[in-house]
Chains A and B, each alone.
Chain A
Amino acid sequence: MKNTKARNASGYMFLTPWLLGFFLLAIGPILVSLYLSFTRYDMVGDPRWTGFDNYIYMFTRDRRFWKTLEVTFHYVLFAVPLRLIMALSVAMLLDKGLRTIGLYRAIFYLPSLLGASIAIAILWRQLFSIDGVVNQVLAVVGIQGVGWITNPSTSIYTLIILAIWQFGAPMLIFLAGLRGIPRDLYEAADIDGTSRFRKFYAITLPMLAPVVFFNLVLQIIEAFKIFSPAFIISNGTGGPADSLLVYTVYLFNEAFKFFRMGYASALAWVLLLIIGLFTALAFATSKYWVHYENERD
């Protein structure tokens, strides 16, 4: 039909920039990266096909790969839940009983907005240094601090604390979600003399479950991709003793320091699969704990 043709023509005209980007910058590179992951490629010669060698090496002989997995999972498992708990607690505190929350909301959100910047990573490096602010505060209460960043067993926690400090964005989403819970549910519970905890478990959490789920998926993806703070705080090395070697820093160094592009591509694909797996896991379990309001039981 001529009509359909004309409609398609104008539709695709508007879609052209995105389509170009989609093929040249997203789907194309993903496929090329899959191909490169089966090769040896140092950017000087052509890629040389090596089959599964990169993956076999990664899983069986590369100790640093396991180390980077350990560091990254450690980070994700602490940073995501703690950030979400912080965000929800503060959102609930702001949601009820206060007339003006604008200024608090702004103050709590500001770190999220600045957090990705190099300036903040530089600041963090100093706050947790041996003679930094954190140790001075500890000294006031009589605790002898350590060099939080130079000590391999504590350095990852400086990153986790940085992540918690930036709870502002999920807090805003929780606030919007809390606003959407009908007030009469709480009033009815009040008349029945329901306790605060019960109100939280029986009303707030179930009503908020879709928002919690949304935040959870978003934060997991976000956390696996952490790069700049780890890179800056460890001065690009991932050290001390690889304790800040989060996945993306390892990948970056393999690709752009040692030019092992094939191996780095394999690392990238494994990252993609890990993130996909976690997202799928969240979706798969969601039917047990997330119920949408318009859904029939």
Chain B
Amino acid sequence: MNATEAALAEKELDEAARVAHEYRLAKNKRERRARLFKHIFLIFFSFIMLYPLLWLLASSLKPENEIFGSLGLWPSTFNWSNYSEGWEALPVSFTIFYRNSTIVTVLCVLGNLFSCSFAAYAFARLEFTGKRLFFGLMMMTLMIPYHVVLIPQYVMFLKLGWVDTYLPLIVPRFLASDGFFIFLMVQFFRQIPRELDEAAQIDGCSSFKIYWAVILPLSLPALATSAIFSMIWVWEDFLAPLIYLNDIQNYTVPLALRLFIAQEGESAFGQMFAMSVLSLVPVVIFFVAFQKLIVRGIATSGMK
């Protein structure tokens, strides 16, 4: 290869590099622009998604005559009295309703954690006759609509004299009635190395000790995810309290909110919205605080 040829080849190479570089620049530019459009669209879409919630929040602060008739999200005057008056608007104060909801929620979450981790440990780690059969049955119960078991359960709890107490809401949770959490925990327990159990067994640990001192401490993410979801679901639960709680003194927050609808016209919309906002606050706080666990929990188990 002589000098001219070499120079020519080099020139061609330079040319190729330049074209490639320009192409990359153009591509980058295109991609940047596409990204920008995407962001603009997503921001607009986010606003639409959030608008109903923002409208609820705004309406809870607006004076009564401003709620309907304006799309605006900024109240002309901030009517905080909607909150203070709404709190006392029903025959029983919301202090009672929040106390009731808190009692039910805390006990149900504890029940779910204990009973579901028990069952999950048996399914994930222990060998016993009939394990496959029971695991299959457990998965089948996930499909059963609550409405199918509702009537016999109601008759049973009525005969036990439990209607108008919190027992029909709480006791089932101590009997692992939420199979979803068993499933979630089984998935997690299975990932824990078996060597740990075996080592503990050689050291003479009982299966209970292994459950308590090896498996549970290593499963905090799964336990936390279950706790968060059961907290949110129990807090929002409407059907079971609607059926079992009669005395307004025993009402949970969702039942109390329903009273606003039942006496619509008499009560103020602003107050109803204010109490609605407050009922969502615990859920939103949990969501913001534990977003990562919630997102991962759904992605791995497919919970609603």
Which chain B residues have a beta carbon within 8 Å of chain A's beta carbons? 31, 34-35, 38-39, 41-42, 45-46, 49-50, 52-53, 55-56, 59, 68-71, 114-116, 118-119, 121-122, 126-129, 131, 134, 137-138, 141, 143-156, 158, 172, 174-177, 182, 206-208, 211, 232-233, 236, 238-239, 243, 254, 257-258, 260-262, 264, 269, 272-273, 276-277, 279-280, 283-284, 287, 291, 294-295, 298-300, 302-304
Contact = CB atoms under 8 A, between A and B. Distances in A.
Binding site secondary structure of chain B: helix
A173 B287 contact: no
A279 B143 contact: yes
A272 B151 contact: no
A131 interface: yes
Given A10-B207, A18-B175, A29-B149, A118 B115 contact: no
Contact of B127 (A7, A20, A133, A235): A7
B172 A25 contact: yes
A94 B38 CA distance: 9
B172 A21 contact: yes
A42 B208 CA distance: 46
A132 B172 CA distance: 41
Contacts of A264: 151
Interface string A219-257: 001101101100110010000000000001001100110
> When A and B form their complex, which 3 residue pairs have the shortest distance between CB atoms, in order from nearest?
A11-B128, A21-B175, A119-B276
B80 to A, nearest CB: 19
Name A's interface SS.
Answer: helix
Contacts of A252: 147, 239
A151 interface: no
Interface string A98-135: 10001011111111111011111011111101011100
A224 B147 CA distance: 11
B68 A8 contact: no
A118 B239 CA distance: 11
A243 to B, nearest CB: 18
A17 B115 contact: yes
A26 interface: yes
Given A109-B295, A221-B143, A235-B261, A33 B151 contact: yes
